[in-house]
Amino acid sequence: MTLTTKNIPQTQAKKKLDLSVMLSPWIVPLAIVGLWQMISSLKLVAPHILPAPTKIAATFWLLLANGELLNHLVVSGERVLVGFLLGASVGLVLGIVTGFSKLMQEIVDPSLQMLRTVPLLALIPLFILWFGVGEFGKVLMIALGAFFPIYVNVFLGIRLVNIQLYEVTGLLQYSFKKRLTTLIMPSAMPNILLGIRLALGASWLVLVVSEMMGTSAGLGYMIQDARAYSQTDIVFVGLVMFALLGKLSDSLVYTIERKVLKWQDTFKG
């Protein structure tokens, strides 16, 4: 009997670059913008309530050209990046520690879970009292927002490691390091990546709120400042920026996810 074959099995059916598949996510937004433009052109709503998409696009272009938008973007981007990295790394380390050690779990986890139930935004007044309105308090807020999704998911990912595979690494005498890199981490990766996605979302959220109180630069400030002067078109530019940035960071993680988790044998719809 021969069960051998020279053909390596197809790991992934090659997807055709179908035009309709590429366009399908755009149908709903384009329809809304079209309708919106029509409403504005017919002057059904006052422009300071709902400016026309063309007007928003023009403002967007103007702010881009005079460098104002880029300036706000860099300031906000820096805050999110530093805050996210800080929160994510602390979350990763604590998640690993509590995931591995039952003792550490019992010592650390109950307090963290209690802290987690406090609405993050309720801490902002306290942070302003403690750290003022400077960069430090903002970055710390963002870090806190990014911390919990990562911590919870890393912990969960480690606890979901298959006990049967763990037994195999014992029989094959894996070192602790090998066990961590070849069993625990790959196995926890779906949860870790989910944690990163949720943490990025939380980071942007906390950023906007923290930028709306006491600062002189950043996308959140730009929106807040425009509101004060009833510049609704600039408010919309800010919203579009957040939508784009959020989508961009999410897609980035999603791309990594698809690459790293291609071994997964799950329902793909």
Partner 1 sequence: MSKNTLVIENLNKVFTTPNEQVIALKNVELTVEQGEFLTVIGPSGCGKSTLLKIIAGLDVDYTGKVELDNKAIYGPSLQKGFIFQEPRLFPWLTVEKNIAGDRSLKDPTIKQQVAELIKLVKLEGFEKAYPRELSGGMAQRVSIARALLRNPAILLLDEPFGALDAFTRSHMQEVLLNIWQTNKTTMIFVTHDLDEAVFLGQRVIIMNPRPGHIKSILPIDLSFPRKRSSLGFQEMRRAVLNEFEKVEEETYTIGAGI
List of residues contacting partner 1 (CB under 8 A): 1-9, 11, 164-165, 167-175, 178, 182-183, 186-187, 189, 261, 263-265
Of 9 and 269, which has the nearer Cβ to partner 1? 9
Of 57 and 183, which has the nearer Cβ to partner 1? 183
- Residues shown for the chain: 269
Of 2 and 20, which has the nearer Cβ to partner 1? 2
Of 20 and 164, which has the nearer Cβ to partner 1? 164
Q: Which tokens is 5 given?
A: 């074959």
DSSP per-residue string spanning 97-137: HHHH-HHHHHHHHHHHHHHHHS-GGGGHHHHHHHHTTSHHH
Angle at the Cα of 210 from the Cα atoms of 238 and 116, rounded to 5 degrees: 120
Min CB(255)–partner 1 separation in Å: 18
At 161, the amino acid letter reads V
Min CB(220)–partner 1 separation in Å: 40
89 three-state secondary structure: helix
Min CB(8)–partner 1 separation in Å: 5
Min CB(257)–partner 1 separation in Å: 13
Min CB(185)–partner 1 separation in Å: 10
* Residue where the block lists tokens 């906007």: 208
Q: Which tokens is 108 given?
A: 């650390």
Of 229 and 263, which has the nearer Cβ to partner 1? 263
Other CB atoms within a 10 A radius of the CB of residue 74 amount to 12
Of 20 and 173, which has the nearer Cβ to partner 1? 173
Min CB(99)–partner 1 separation in Å: 18
Of 7 and 117, which has the nearer Cβ to partner 1? 7
How far is residue 172 CA from its own chain's centroid?
38
Min CB(261)–partner 1 separation in Å: 8
Other CB atoms within a 10 A radius of the CB of residue 227 amount to 14
Look at phi and psi of residue 267 and say left if phi exceeds 0, alpha if psi is from -120 to 50, else beta: beta
Contact 94, 113 (CB under 8 A): no
- H/E stretch holding 62 reads helix 53-65
